Amino acid sequence: MTRGHFLNISDVTKTFETPRGLYPAIQGCTLTVGQGEFVTLIGHSGCGKSTLLSIVAGLTHPTTGGVILEGKEVTGPGPDRGMVFQQHALLPWLSAHDNVLLAVEEVFPSLSRKEQADRVMHFLEIVGLSEAFQKYPAELSGGMCQRVGIARALAMRPKVLLLDEPFGALDALTRGHLQDEVLRIWQKFGQTVLMVTHDVDEAILLSDRIALMTNGPGATIGEVVRVDLPRPRNRRVIAGMPAYHDLKVRILEFLYERYELVS
């Protein structure tokens, strides 16, 4: 297995049936993600980037093309692709602890009760929520819920972590904190990550490579940009670098001049 071909998205097309006929959401999307790499899909809202992520997760079936993860074709959803949802998708009737425990029980059924509970607490600790473990989602802030969502996905020990605009619903300050947190976790675990976002700064801060998506219908990956900024990254330090500025201009140019959202 070469590093460059850990996750292979090849020629993926998705056509939806709508009352007004067939709608080609995404067309001929090809992208590879190396092991331990952080890759971001960026594009305007509604361009189909979340559809592509959902296909990688196995929640949506591609019309043509396919996804190969570590040599195996993706045929359906599974815990090897831990997903963090935009609206956290925590089960409101379970505490933070039990939300993570449900995942641990399913993925590691051979562990003892004690080992399962330890694993839950370990991952809640990683996201800085070990003290709030008994709280229910309704008692937690949006940022805290998203942390639990991240802990739940990580606790599955996924081969690739899928982040679907995970910070989109949060205020700017909380978003910044959580981005730092994800960066820290990624560095610590060498976790392969595929993230969807529409925030250019977020993409540059976190990613090794950024895949720029054109607008739908028939959206595809127009360009892949490598982020050659030194790691570990600090948002204040990199913001002053000329390379950061050049990257941002290049991405914005792609998004706003070449593929401006036609409304």
Partner 1 sequence: MIQEKSVTSEVQRTPAPDRLSVPSMLKRVPVGGILLPLVGAALLVGVWAVVSQLAPFLPNPVQTVTKSWDLIRHPFFDQGPNNKGIGWQVIYSLGRVGLGFGLAIAVGIPAGLVLGLSSVTRKMWDPVVQVLRPVSPLAWLPLGLATFQAATPAAVFTIFITALWPILLNTSAGVQQVSPAYVQVGRILQLSRRKMMTRILIPAALPHILSGLRVSLGVAWLVIVASEMLTGGVGIGFFVWDEWNNLSLEHIILAIAVIGFVGLALDRLMLAAARRITNQPLG
User: Can you give the binding site for partner 1, defined by CB under 8 A?
Assistant: 57-59, 76-79, 81-83, 85, 87, 89, 91-94, 102-103, 106-107, 128, 136, 138, 141, 143-144, 156, 173-174, 177
Minimum gap (Å) between residue 106 Cβ and partner 1? 4
Concatenated DSSP letters of 145-174: HHHHHHHHHHHT--SEEEEESTTTTS-HHH
Nearer to partner 1, 71 or 76 (CB): 76
Q: At its nearest, how many Å lie between partner 1 and the CB of residue 41? A: 18
Q: Are 110 and 121 in contact (CB under 8 A)?
A: no
**79 preceded by a cis bond (ω within 30 of 0):** no
DSSP for 42-62?
E--TTSSHHHHHHHHHTSS--
Tell the smallest beta-carbon distance from residue 138 to partner 1 (Å).
Answer: 7
Q: What is the largest CA-CA distance in the chain?
A: 56
Nearer to partner 1, 13 or 174 (CB): 174
Beta bridge partners of 144: none
- Comparing CB distances to partner 1, the nearer of 45 and 75 is 75
For the beta carbon of residue 232, count every other beta carbon within 10 angstroms: 8
Sheet holding 81-84, edge to edge: 81-84, 160-164, 192-197, 38-42, 209-213, 221-226
Query: Is the CB of 5 or the CB of 235 nearer to partner 1?
Result: 235
**What three-state secondary structure class fits 109?**
coil
Q: How far is the CB of 239 from partner 1 (least distance, A)?
A: 21
- The radius of gyration of the chain from alpha carbons, rounded to an integer in Å, stands at 18
Query: Cβ closer to partner 1: 35 or 60?
Result: 60
- Quick one: 148 or 227, whose CB is closer to partner 1? 148
Minimum gap (Å) between residue 58 Cβ and partner 1 = 8
Residue 249 CB, nearest approach to partner 1 (Å): 31
